[in-house]
Structure 1
Amino acid sequence: NYVFTSESVSEGHPDKVCDRISDAIVDLFLGHDPQSRVAVETLATTNHVTLAGEVRCRETITPEMLEQTARAAIKDIGYEQDGFHWKNARVDVLVHSQSADIAMGVDAAGNKDEGAGDQGIMFGYACRETAALMPAPIFYAHGILKSLAEARHSGAAPQLGPDAKSQVSLRYENGRPVGATSVVVSTQHAEGLDQEAVREIVRPHVLNVLPAGWMCPESEFYVNPTGRFVIGGPDGDAGLTGRKIIVDTYGGAAPHGGGAFSGKDPTKVDRSAAYAARYLAKNVVGAELADRCTIQVAYAIG
C-alpha cells in the first residue's frame, strides 16, 4: 500500500513547445527525404526561438523553411501573446550538416546494416492499471490536460492559455490504484480571472477524467496554487527540447535510459528503440503473459 505521483505538461508548456518545434522539423525533413538524418534542439524564451543541431537530406531544406516550420508549430499551439507570438518572435537557425564521423557509423553500406546513431540504454514498459496499458498516475495526468486543451481549442474555455501542468497522486492498495489523494492543476489564464474562477473551470475536466469516486478530498485539490498564472509559456520560463523525458514516458513508474525523443530521426535509438520496447512490452501484457513488463535494450554506436 502506497501513494504514487506523476506529472504531465500541456502542449503550451515551454519545454513542450520546444519538443513540438523539434519534431515538426523532423517531419519536414522526413517528408522531403525518408532517409534524412535529423538531430535538432530548440530553445525558447521571451519572443525568441533558437534552433540548433545537425541534419542531412538529399533535398535542400533552407533556413527559411525551418523558420516557417517553427512559426507554424507555435501558431498551432495557440501562442499569440505579447511575450510569445508565432508571427513576431525572432527565430535563429543554427543548423549544420551531420558529422561525417557519425554518418560513417550509421549508414548502411555493402554488408553493413544501418547502425545505431549512438550508444545508450532504452526502456519499454506496460502494465494493466489502465486500458492503455499505462501506469494510472501519468495516464490521468495526461487526460486532464488533454481535456483542457480540447476545451481551449474548441472555444469552450477561451479564458485559458496554452501553458499548463497537472500532477496526480494515487493511493494504491495491494498494488492497485484505488483513488486520488491529491490533484494539482496549474493553467495559464486571462487577465482578470481569479483563482476560484479558474478552479471551477478546471474541476469538471478532472472529474470527467478520473474514474467515478476517485476524486481527491477538496482540501487536496490545488488549482493555480500561486494564485495567478497570466504570464506563461516561454515568456514566463525558458524552454528546451528534451527536458520532459519522464512526462514523455511513464511518469517515473518505470526506469528511463535518459535519452529524449523529440527532434530525432529513427536512427537515433533513444527514440526508435524506446518505441519498439514499449510496443513489445504492450504485447507481453496484452497477451496476458504478465501483469507488468519492463524491457531494456542497450546499443553501441554503429
Structure 2
Amino acid sequence: MFEKVNPSHPDKLADRIAGALVDMAYGRRDNPRIAVEVLIGHGVCHIIAETSVRLDFDEIGHAVGRIAGKNHRIVYDEHPQDPILAENQQGKIRCGDNGIFKGCPITDEQRKLSNLMKRLYQSHPYDGKAVICDGKLTLCQSNAASDFLAEELRGNEPFEVNPLGEWDGGTSVDCGATNRKLGSDMGDAVTGGGLHGKDLSKADVSVNIYAHVLAQQIGRPYEFCCSIGDGFVDDAPYSSVVETAREFIEKRGGFEKFAEWGLF
C-alpha cells in the first residue's frame, strides 16, 4: 500500500514554496536557522517563517508565483528564532529537536509507482495522485483525458483512472499545507516531524535523510531516536549527519527541488 503525489498537488506546492524560502535563507548565510509553514488555497497563500535571516517579500512573491501561479494573495508573517533555541546552535551544530526516526529501503513497488508518476508529470504537469493498494492502482490526474491515462497504464492492471471523472484540480479545488504528504515522500519510513521548510540543523530534515541513506545501504529498516542538544546521533557526530543530508539536498538541486518528490 503506497501513495505518490506529484509536484503540482496543493500539498506539494506548499512544500515547494517552503523549500524555496529555505533556499533563500541559505543564499544569504552559510548555516541559517529557518522553519517555514505554508497554507495555500483558493487564491490565498499564508506563510509563517521563523528565521535568523530577513527574507525579501518581493522575492517570496516571485517564488509563490513561479511555483503556484500568480493569482494568490500572499500573507507573510516573519519572526526571529526563539533565543533559547538559537543558543542551542551557538559554537557547534547540535541536534535541533527531539525525535523518532525509522528509515526503510524503497520497495520495487514504490520505486515503480514513483517512476510512473514522474513520467506522467513530464507530459501533464498538473495536480495528480496515485495510490496502489492490494495490487490495484488508482490514478487521479487533472487536465488529462481518462482514455489517455488508461492507455498510459496498460500493463499495470488492475487500475482505475479519475474515478469521479476528468477534473481540473489545483489550489482552486483543494488547499495545501506543508508536510502533509510525508507518506508520499518517505514510503514506509517513520518520523515524528516533517521533511520540508527547515534548515539542516533540524533533525526532521537531517536525521530523516540520514536514516533513509543508511536503510538503502544496509537493505533493511534502521531506526533510532535523538534529543535536542545532542552532539552525537547513532554514535555519529551530529555535524556528520548534517553533512550527509547537505550532500543529499545538494544532489537534488536544493530544498525546493527536494520538496518536489521527497526522498525518492
Instruction: State the TM-score, normalized to the length of structure 1.
Output: 0.71
Which structure shows the higher strand fraction? 1
Query: In the alignment, which of 188, 201, 207 is matched to residue 142 of structure 2?
Result: 188
Check 1:33–1:137 CA distance in 2 against 1; reply closer, same or farther (3 A cut): same
Structure 2: how far apart are the matches of 1:37 and 1:204? Answer: 47
Q: Residues 46 and 236 of structure 1 are in contact (CA less than 8 Å); yes or no, is this contact kept in structure 2?
A: yes
Whether 1:166 aligns to 2:130 is yes
Match of residue 298 from structure 1: 225
Match of residue 193 from structure 1: none
Based on CA coordinates, which of the two structures has the bigger radius of gyration? 1
Match of residue 99 from structure 1: 82
Query: In the alignment, which of 160, 168, 172 is matched to residue 235 of structure 1?
Result: 172
AA paired with 2:147? E
Give aligned pairs, total: 229
Q: Which runs of 5+ in 2 are unaligned?
A: 230-264
Query: In the alignment, which of 125, 134, 139 is matched to residue 104 of structure 2?
Result: 125
- Residue correspondence of structure 1 range 252-271 to structure 2 within 5 A: 254-271=188-205
Instruction: Please state whether the residue corresponding to 1:235 is helix, strand or coil.
Output: coil
Q: Which runs of 5+ in 1 are unaligned?
A: 75-85, 127-133, 154-161, 171-180, 191-197, 208-213, 286-292
Query: In the alignment, which of 216, 221, 225 is matched to residue 157 of structure 2?
Result: 216
Match of residue 208 from structure 2: 274
Once the 2 structures are TM-superposed, how far is the Cα of residue 259 of structure 1 from its aligned partner? 1.2
Cα deviation code 1:239-267 (max 9, x no counterpart): 100101111101xxx34123110101111
Match of residue 250 from structure 2: none
Q: Residues 25 and 70 of structure 1 are in contact (CA less than 8 Å); yes or no, is this contact kept in structure 2?
A: no
Instruction: Please state whether the residue corresponding to 1:66 is helix, strand or coil.
Output: helix
Query: In the alignment, which of 86, 96, 108 is matched to residue 90 of structure 2?
Result: 108
Once the 2 structures are TM-superposed, how far is the Cα of residue 204 of structure 1 from its aligned partner? 4.1
Instruction: Please state whether the residue corresponding to 2:153 is helix, strand or coil.
Output: helix
AA paired with 1:115? R
Once the 2 structures are TM-superposed, how far is the Cα of residue 61 of structure 1 from its aligned partner? 2.3
Root-mean-square deviation (CA, aligned residues, Å) is: 1.7
Match of residue 148 from structure 1: 120
Structure 2: how far apart are the matches of 1:205 and 1:56? Answer: 47
Q: Residues 64 and 70 of structure 2 are in contact (CA less than 8 Å); yes or no, is this contact kept in structure 1?
A: no
Instruction: Please state whether the residue corresponding to 1:248 is helix, strand or coil.
Output: helix
Instruction: Please state whether the residue corresponding to 2:97 is helix, strand or coil.
Output: coil
Cα deviation code 1:1-32 (max 9, x no counterpart): xxxx2111111111111001101111111122
Structure 1: how far apart are the matches of 2:117 and 2:73? Answer: 28
Check 1:25–1:205 CA distance in 2 against 1; reply closer, same or farther (3 A cut): farther
Structure 2: how far apart are the matches of 1:123 and 1:108? Answer: 28
Instruction: Please state whether the residue corresponding to 2:156 is helix, strand or coil.
Output: coil
Structure 2: how far apart are the matches of 1:297 and 1:92? Answer: 38
Instruction: State the TM-score, normalized to the length of structure 2.
Output: 0.81
Which structure shows the higher helix fraction? 2
Cα deviation code 1:150-191 (max 9, x no counterpart): 0135xxxxxxxx111111236xxxxxxxxxx3111111127x
Once the 2 structures are TM-superposed, how far is the Cα of residue 63 of structure 1 from its aligned partner? 2.2
Match of residue 233 from structure 2: none
Match of residue 139 from structure 1: 111
AA paired with 1:19? D
Instruction: Please state whether the residue corresponding to 1:148 is helix, strand or coil.
Output: helix
Structure 2: how far apart are the matches of 1:31 and 1:70? Answer: 17
Cα deviation code 1:50-99 (max 9, x no counterpart): 11120112xx422222222222222xxxxxxxxxxx22210111121111
Structure 2: how far apart are the matches of 1:87 and 1:199? Answer: 28
Q: Residues 124 and 143 of structure 2 are in contact (CA less than 8 Å); yes or no, is this contact kept in structure 1?
A: no
Q: Residues 273 and 297 of structure 1 are in contact (CA less than 8 Å); yes or no, is this contact kept in structure 2?
A: no
Match of residue 261 from structure 2: none
Match of residue 201 from structure 1: 148
Percent sequence identity over matched residues? Answer: 27
Whether 1:46 aligns to 2:42 is yes
Instruction: Please state whether the residue corresponding to 1:260 is helix, strand or coil.
Output: coil
Once the 2 structures are TM-superposed, how far is the Cα of residue 200 of structure 1 from its aligned partner? 2.3
